[in-house]
Amino acid sequence: MIQKYRFGTPIETEAAVLDITSIPVERSADGILSAPDIVNDEACLLTLASVSLDKGFSLTLTLDDRDAVYGLGEANRGINKRGHLYISHCNDDPNHTEEKVSLYGAHNFIMVIGAKCFGLFFDYPSDICFDIGYTRQDTLTVRADGTELYVYLITGDGALDIVRQFRWLIGRSYIPPLWAFGYIQSRWGYKNENDIRRVAAGYRSNHLPLDSISMDIDYMEDYKDFTVDQERFPDLSALSAEMKEQGLHFIPIIDAGVKIEPGYDVYEEGVKNNYFCKRADGTDFVAGVWPGKTHFPDMLNTKARRWFGNYYKRLIDQGIEGFWNDMNEPAIFYSEEGLAEAFRRMEELREQKENPDLNAFGAMCDAFCISNLQEDYERFYHNMDGKKIRHDKVHNLYGYNMTRAASESFDEICPDRRLLLFSRSSYIGMHRYGGIWTGDNHSWWSHLLLNVKMMPSLSMCGFLYSGADLGGFGSNTTRDLLLRWLAFGIFTPLMRNHSALGTREQECYQFEGLEDFRNILRLRYRLIPYLYSEYMKAALNDELLFTPLAFVWPQDAVARETEDQLLLGEGLMLTPVCQQNATGRHVYLPEDMLFLLFTSSEEYTVTPMSAGHHYISCGLAEVPVFLRPGHLLPLAPSCECTAQLDYSSFEVLGEAGKGLTYSMYTDDGYTKHPERDGRWITITK
Ligand code: MIG
């Protein structure tokens, strides 16, 4: 059951799609809250938790020792969120160390599962803090400065049921084209078409499978959105046709900020039509980002959104079928005001120049820490279809609506075809328009583990098409880290190797022993029919793609606490190796399973294992997975790109002679209506 509580007059975020009558919460003169519309015998938010509107909104409840707290989508730390605090504030912070409380997304859905059992979704577009046993170990507090919001209370029969209801509430997840399940190579720094050709050749000539190359800001002319540098990429249409012949797709990046440059039509039109975010005095707000000074398109304005979305057509017309939206928290290196203030502060410190004491030196260092400042988010306004709203009040909706702008324009530009779209920043609701990648991680083993733990939380919040920068974005990767990360990445829908400018090159062919990479990538392609089918089931039935063991075996204390193993779809349990120099790992089996160890893309061992604790050996080039009883794993013949995928013959792993079947989804991989155009076929063994 879902109840929707209304506090005040909330901003309509369109995160939810179900039309549910809301229950108004009333506040008496002495501050007592009541929900008069609630029939007495029903569970009520106000009896379940103590809610106050005295100093902003707060909701507090006591956690039992047995309660775990799940959710929050793209957030730091473990699957069970207990023990820390998290602030939904879409943030461009490229150092996801353990103490960080905000990443790029704002996914305000949590579930308390244990002695109690319910879910809460806070539809609130500004900063909101989830203190989950941080201030007091036994207390959950959710607080926000504002008091106008919707809170959804979802009760049900365990975690899986609550997730299903929540996902029904927020609408069907985005479904990408089939080729988006192919392997993507990316790097910040492919500066011209020859760099791109070299990457294509590096993969194709070494028979390393590849479907796409994503293009970072280097392809643009002076970082101007929807332009292509004519010197470095003289003919994008020809280049994309050339790549298509090799079965390759291009995925260009689009940034949020539009360069201020007279004569640049996006800038000119935006100014003329008042499509940019404005300061209080009505002038266009200026933010420094990659192109230097920019304006932010007002993504919360319907007309501006349509206008911005239409520009994607320029690249689509040149053969482009996929995009990634970046810097859309929106990230701000500096504002004009912030920059002026920084120079003023330095001026004040000038006298200390010859012999600064520590305080002065600290102040000098701090003077230019002016990126992504709260003050800047308070300096500009949106025109939400007639309503003027200060940005900080709706901060978490920006990336969501940039991606929505693109998606809605795709519906007009190519109504029958699915395009690939993923974003850095997001809010719940955006999952209907595109996927996300999890931003600027590092080439750290701990970030491989973070990737593993984040996947089920993303599933809970509807972000099915997602994945991390495999191999790590910042810092220098190593061969073993990349191999282990790819061995996990072959199971994530978005499988992209991406790295930052200036770091060690991390395309697979940069390392020795290419056959190890080849085997792992080829195995990905063998798994795509399973992955794609399970993706469709999760999207069409509002189910999890990645499931924590705790949700399936809630009575099993060890399963409940196991966070480095995940269920993927109906039959697989993933047990990635996330430790340097490890030649295997401990695994826990809540039930008897078949251990499948892929020693290459074609070869594997099958070992029945009984429930309980085991140590499995797993070499650097091997992929360990477990198959649950009663399930089959179909494997396509290996190939080098999705265009070569052969659905006519499958190798089927699992128990023979038991009449087991697997339901597989097939379609052309790009038409838009999966229920109408797709077909379910039955695989047997
Ligand atoms: O300020 O476009 O997260 O994937 O390579 C950095 C350059 C801007 C951040 C993205 C990253 C991308 C990078 N971008």
Amino acid letter, 244 = K
Q: Which atom of ligand 1 is nearest to the CA of 331?
A: 1
Give the distance (Å) from ligand 1 centre to CA of residue 223. 12
For ligand 1, say whether the CB of 439 is within 6 Å of any of its atoms: yes
**H or E segment to which residue 588 belongs:** strand 584-589
pLDDT tens digits along 65-81: 999 999 999 999 999 99
What is the per-residue pLDDT for 182?
Answer: 98
Q: Is 217 in the pocket of ligand 1 (CB under 6 A)?
A: yes
Which residue among 90, 104, 216 has the greatest number of ligand 1 atoms within 8 angstroms of its CB, and so is best to mutate? 216
* For range 246-265, the mean pLDDT: 98
For atom 11 of ligand 1, the residue with the nearest CA is 440
Say whether pLDDT at 41 is over 80.
no
Distance 500 CA to ligand 1 centre (A): 7
Give the distance (Å) from ligand 1 centre to CA of residue 96. Answer: 15
pLDDT value of residue 402: 99
Q: What is the pLDDT of residue 574?
A: 99
Looking at residue 266, what is its pLDDT?
98
Task: Indicate the pTM of the whole model.
Answer: 0.98
Tell me the pLDDT tens digit for each residue of 658-681. Answer: 999 999 999 999 999 888 889 999
* Distance from residue 76's CA to the centre of ligand 1 (Å): 19
Among candidates 20, 102, 128, which has minimal Cα distance to 394? Answer: 128
| Tens digit of each residue's pLDDT (9 = 90 or more) over 484-521 | 999 999 999 999 999 999 999 999 999 999 999 999 99
Ligand 1 contact via 288 beta carbon (within 6 Å): no
Tell me the average pLDDT across 427-432: 98
**What distance in angstroms lies between residue 436's CA and the mean position of ligand 1's atoms?**
14
pLDDT-derived band of residue 382, with 50, 70 and 90 as boundaries? very high
Q: Report the residue among 186, 188, 470 best suited for mutation to probe ligand 1: largest number of ligand atoms under 8 A from its CB.
A: 188
Q: Is 556 exposed, middle or buried (0-12, 13-18, 19+ CB in 10 A)?
A: middle
Q: CB of 440 closer than 6 A to ligand 1?
A: yes
Amino acid occupying residue 10: P
Q: Which amino acid appears at position 102 of this protein?
A: S
Adjacent-strand bridge partners of 139: 62
HSE-CB for 638 with a 13 A CA cutoff: 15
Share of the chain above pLDDT 90, in %: 98
Q: Is 188 in the pocket of ligand 1 (CB under 6 A)?
A: yes
Pocket test of ligand 1: the residue of 186, 220, 437, 440 to mutate, having most ligand atoms within 8 Å of its CB, is 440
- Evaluate if residue 183 carries a pLDDT over 80: yes
Nearest atom of ligand 1 to the alpha carbon of 253: 2
Q: Ligand 1 pocket, 330 CB below 6 A? A: no
Q: Which of 38-52, 526-540, 594-608, 613-627 has the least mean pLDDT? A: 38-52
DSSP string, 364-432: HHHHT--TT-HHHHTS-EEEETTEEEEGGGSGGGHHHHHHHHHHHHHHHHSTTB--EEEESSEETTGGG
Q: Does the beta carbon of 542 sit less than 6 angstroms from any atom of ligand 1? A: no
Closest atom of ligand 1 to 186 CA is: 5
Q: How far apart are CA 675 and CA 660, in angstroms?
A: 24
Pick the closest to residue 571 from 659, 651, 616, 634 (CA basis).
634
Spacing, Cα 123 to ligand 1 middle (Å): 28
Cα of 36 to ligand 1 centre, how many Å?
49
Which atom of ligand 1 lies at the shortest distance from residue 324's CA? 4
Q: State whether the beta carbon of 597 lies less than 6 angstroms from ligand 1.
A: no
pLDDT tens per residue, range 108-146: 999 999 999 999 999 999 999 999 999 999 999 999 999
What average pLDDT score do residues 612-619 get? 98
Structural domains in the chain, CATH included, are 2-170 (2.60.40.1760), 531-684 (2.60.40.4040)
Ligand 1 and 255: CB distance under 6 A: no
Q: How would residue 39 be classed by pLDDT, with cut points 50, 70 and 90?
A: confident
Rounded mean pLDDT of 311-327?
Answer: 98
As a whole number, the mean pLDDT across the chain is 97
Task: Find the range with the poorest average confidence among 40-54, 194-208, 534-548.
Answer: 40-54
- DSSP secondary structure of 310-378: HTHHHHHTTT--EEEEESTTT--SEEHHHHHHHHHHHHHTGGGGSS--HHHHHHHHHHT--TT-HHHHT
Best substitution site from 323, 327, 424 to test ligand 1's pocket, by max atoms within 8 Å of Cβ?
A: 327
With a CB cutoff of 8 Å and minimum separation 6, the contacts of 41 are none
Cα angle: 574, vertex 576, 582; to 5 degrees: 150
Output the CA 326–ligand 1 centroid distance in Å: 7
In sequence order, which residues have a C-beta less than 8 Å from that of residue 174 and are 6 or more positions away? 407, 421, 431, 432, 433, 434, 435, 464, 465, 539
- Give the number of the atom of ligand 1 that is nearest the alpha carbon of residue 424: 3
The per-residue b/e assignment along 443-473, b for 16 or more CB within 10 angstroms, e otherwise, is bbbebbbbbbbbbbbbbbbbbbbbbbbbbbb
Q: pLDDT of 398-420, one tens digit each?
A: 999 999 999 999 999 999 999 99
- In this prediction, residue 476 carries a pLDDT of 98
**What average pLDDT does range 100-112 have in this prediction?**
98
What integer pLDDT is reported at residue 38 of this predicted model? 86
Pocket of ligand 1 contains residue 424 by CB under 6 Å: yes
C-alpha of residue 289 to centroid of ligand 1, in Å? 11
* pLDDT at site 626: 99
Which of 475, 500, 328 is closest to 402 using CA atoms? 328
Residue 289 Cβ < 6 Å to ligand 1: no
- Residue 201's Cβ-side half-sphere holds a number of Cα atoms within 13 Å equal to 6
Cα 327 to middle of ligand 1, angstroms: 7
CA distance 215 to 253: 6
Residue 89 pLDDT more than 70? yes
Residue whose Cα lies nearest atom 13 of ligand 1: it is 188
- Quick: pLDDT tens for 628-639: 999 999 999 999
Beta bridge partners of 119: 111, 154
Give strand pairing partners of 63: none
Asked if residue 216 has its Cβ within 6 Å of ligand 1, the reply is: yes
Distance from residue 466's CA to the centre of ligand 1 (Å) = 17
CA of 165 to the centre of ligand 1 (A): 35
Which has more confidence, 40 or 319? 319
Between the CA of 253 and the centroid of ligand 1 the distance, in Å, is 9
Looking at ligand 1, which atom is closest to the CA of residue 188?
5
Q: Ligand 1: which atom is nearest the Cα of residue 501?
A: 5
Q: What is the pLDDT of residue 40?
A: 65
Is 326 a pocket residue for ligand 1 (Cβ < 6 Å)? Answer: yes
**What is the predicted pLDDT for the residue at 348?**
94
Output the residue whose Cα is nearest ligand 1's atom 6. Answer: 327
Atom index in ligand 1 nearest the CA of residue 440 equals 3
Is the predicted pLDDT of residue 534 greater than 90, yes or no? Answer: yes
Rg of the Cα trace of the chain?
Answer: 25
User: Are 113 and 67 spatial neighbours (Cβ–Cβ below 8 Å)?
Assistant: yes
Residue tagged 């910042």 (tokens): 474
User: Closest Cα to atom 5, ligand 1: which residue?
Assistant: 188
93 CA distance to ligand 1 middle (Å): 11
Using a 6 Å cutoff on CB, does residue 74 contact ligand 1? no
Amino acid code (one letter) for 427: Y
